[in-house]
Amino acid sequence: MFDTYIFFLKSFINFNYKKANFIFNFRYMHNKYLNSKWTSVKKVKGWRHYQVRNVFKKKKELEIFAVCDKKIFFNVTYSEIRNESLWLPGWKEMD
């Protein structure tokens, strides 16, 4: 009886720890994109260097703007920004 109680208690603690860790990682994942800098592999609207202005968590999109021309901005999805054939993290020098 006591062994089952200890097992239940350990599993309950582990479950809550994993759940809290997942929530923390999920929030951190979204917040790390804010003000991050990106380089597009191909020119988009005439520019390559962009910065994240806003994070839309529900839509899973980022609003990015051209650093040299702040009037140019658009939204990209998380999957697009993680695709290395489209975007590179940081500002890189490209030909």
Over residues 54-89, the pLDDT tens digits come to: 999 889 999 999 999 999 999 999 999 999 999 999
**Could you tell me if 52 and 69 lie in one domain?**
yes
- Which residue type occupies 36? S
pTM of this structure: 0.68
Q: Which domain holds residue 19?
A: 1-31
Of 21, 72, 26, 23, nearest in space to 51 by CA: 72
Over residues 6-40, the pLDDT tens digits come to: 665 556 555 555 555 545 454 556 678 999 999 99
How many domains, the chain? 2
Separation CA 92–CA 73 (nearest Å) = 19
SS3 of residue 44 by DSSP: strand
**Could you tell me if 78 and 44 lie in one domain?**
yes
**Could you tell me if 60 and 79 lie in one domain?**
yes
Spatial strand order in the sheet of 37-44: 73-77, 61-66, 47-56, 37-44, 87-89
**Could you tell me if 74 and 42 lie in one domain?**
yes
**Could you tell me if 3 and 45 lie in one domain?**
no
